[in-house]
Chains A and B, each alone.
Chain A
Amino acid sequence: MLKRLVIPTFVLVAISISLFPLRAKSQSGSKANQGTSAAPVPSPIPVHVDGWGRPVDDLPANQKPGPAPVHDLSGIWEPADGWRAGTQASGPRDNPSDARHILPYTPLGEKAFKSHKPGWGATAVPIQENNDPFDICDPLGLPRIDFFNLRALQILQTKKQVVIIYQNDQVWRNIWMDGRELPKEISEYRWYGYSVGRWVDDYTFVAQTVGLDDRTWVDNAGRPHSKDLQVEETFHRLNSDILELTVTITDPQMYTKPWVGLNKFPLRLQSDGFDIREMVCSASEAQQYNAISKAAAPRN
């Protein structure tokens, strides 16, 4: 009986597929350009490039990483699973905003979350209703710089600091490791807070950050935070090639217990000639984007 149904099924599917234009992936190009006798130019094959336009090589299949260097996070890094594996549009990889991941909100946290109107995640709204501060190019802040569009980053170390330069929004942070303590009184809250860090073993560096401006969102899905937020980042050098990032959120005003946004998110070491491209949130470009996008919004 089922055999009789197979052919009609595939015929119907083939008809359906023909209604949707397929992206051309062949190298032969398209014949859609009418009126020219020249052979079509082959379509580009996807190649991951750095900011200088140079191809980024994949690891050879038999690549064996060397041992991890001691007390060393330095280098240029990209998400190990793919150049846009750190996009995280609906929230951090290990706790995205969906039906299966409900954060332990306090009543205040629940209220604050509902007041945020993101473009992504379980509570996404149409773009004309968004109130995401990043839509007008307010700084992403911490931890959102780790939780949204985590692309290439460069880590520099001095005797006293770990400095992280991020591709997304062209920002930097410094983490002090000269023994100073976190400020107990915050006179000026900062978009990226105040960070201190220390080596807990030869390959693991733990940073703590407080003093974070509460105008930022925790992630792209609108999770909230208060001025009492403390962010813990654990950087673990697994081997010569891989750095793992774990990020834990503690905010008793908004959440009844700490939660983990990234758990050992792998970053792969790039060549020291890798150029981190610009990826700037320009206020004028954002204004143009918002105007065009909102023009597509449904009219009441």
Chain B
Amino acid sequence: MRKNAWPFLTTFVLLLVASLPIFAHHGNAGYDSKTVILKGTVTDWLWTNPHTFLKFDVKDDKGNVVHWTGEWNAPSTLVNFGFTGKTFKPGDEVIVTIRTAKNGAPLGGLRQVVLPNGEVMSEDESVGKSGGYRSRPPADSKGSDN
């Protein structure tokens, strides 16, 4: 390989990695890193701990119905992103972005769901970890820190 091609390749790889969404998950549940987009009909929304579950039916190419289950974060986290126990109702036609199970089962980690009214439900995993509050007073504070 030509020597002057390395900076290009290095830059490409670094930028590619930086552009990937961060796939955080509870434990190591066997979900792939790639996502697929599915159109389906909600059958149930389980507002439970330790994680929530969205159940939805998807018709495959042959018209057969496949029962999918998507996993999301706990209610205590999702409430901060507008989710409630009533966000999804049976019968809702939704568009689901989901990390699929490595073993091919109709399961996955949810990334985004579009509601019938166009509302996009998602969790920003960078929110709430830092910068939420100032933890130290300004340098010129006259408060009596001990």
Contact = CB atoms under 8 A, between A and B. Distances in A.
Partners in one complex: yes
B111 A23 contact: yes
Contacts of B97: 21
A85 B122 CA distance: 20
A187 interface: no
A20 B7 contact: no
A102 interface: no
Nearest to B27: A119
A277 B76 contact: yes
Interface stretch (A106-114, A139-147, A157-165, A235-243): A235-243
A137 to B, nearest CB: 9
A125 to B, nearest CB: 7
Interface in A256-300: 266, 268, 277, 279-282, 285-286, 288-289, 292-293, 295-299
A59 B138 CA distance: 12
Interface of A: 1-2, 5, 8-10, 12-13, 16-17, 20-25, 29-33, 36, 38-49, 53, 58-59, 61-68, 78-85, 87, 89, 119-120, 124-128, 130, 151, 167, 201-204, 236-240, 242, 266, 268, 277, 279-282, 285-286, 288-289, 292-293, 295-299
A65 B136 CA distance: 9
Q: Which of A9, A49, A125 has the most CB of B within 10 A?
A: A9
A197 to B, nearest CB: 18
Contacts of B131: 81-82
B89 interface: no
Interface in B1-39: 4, 7-8, 11-12, 15-16, 19-21, 26-31, 35, 37
Nearest to A203: B146
Contacts of B4: 1
Contact of B118 (A2, A36, A124): A36
Interface of B is mostly: loop
B32 to A, nearest CB: 10
Contacts of B137: 63-65, 239
B30 to A, nearest CB: 4
Contact of B133 (A10, A58, A128): A58
B16 A16 contact: yes
Contacts of A2: 7
B130 A33 contact: no
Nearest to A270: B133
B83 to A, nearest CB: 8
Interface string B38-79: 000000001011110100000000000000010100101101
Contacts of B120: 23-24, 29-30, 32, 43
B129 A81 contact: yes
19 contacts: A9-B15, A17-B19, A36-B117, A41-B115, A46-B80, A46-B81, A47-B82, A62-B138, A84-B128, A119-B28, A127-B27, A239-B137, A240-B143, A268-B133, A289-B48, A295-B105, A296-B30, A298-B30, A298-B102
A58 B135 CA distance: 11
A239 B134 CA distance: 13
A30 B94 CA distance: 12
Nearest to A31: B118
B49 A124 contact: no
Interface residues of B, number: 72
A33 B118 contact: yes
A20 B80 contact: no
A298 B101 CA distance: 8
Q: Which of B16, B74, B146 has the most CB of A within 10 A?
A: B146
Contact of B146 (A24, A36, A48, A202): A202
B118 to A, nearest CB: 3
A286 to B, nearest CB: 7
Contact of B116 (A33, A42, A66, A82): A33
A78 to B, nearest CB: 8
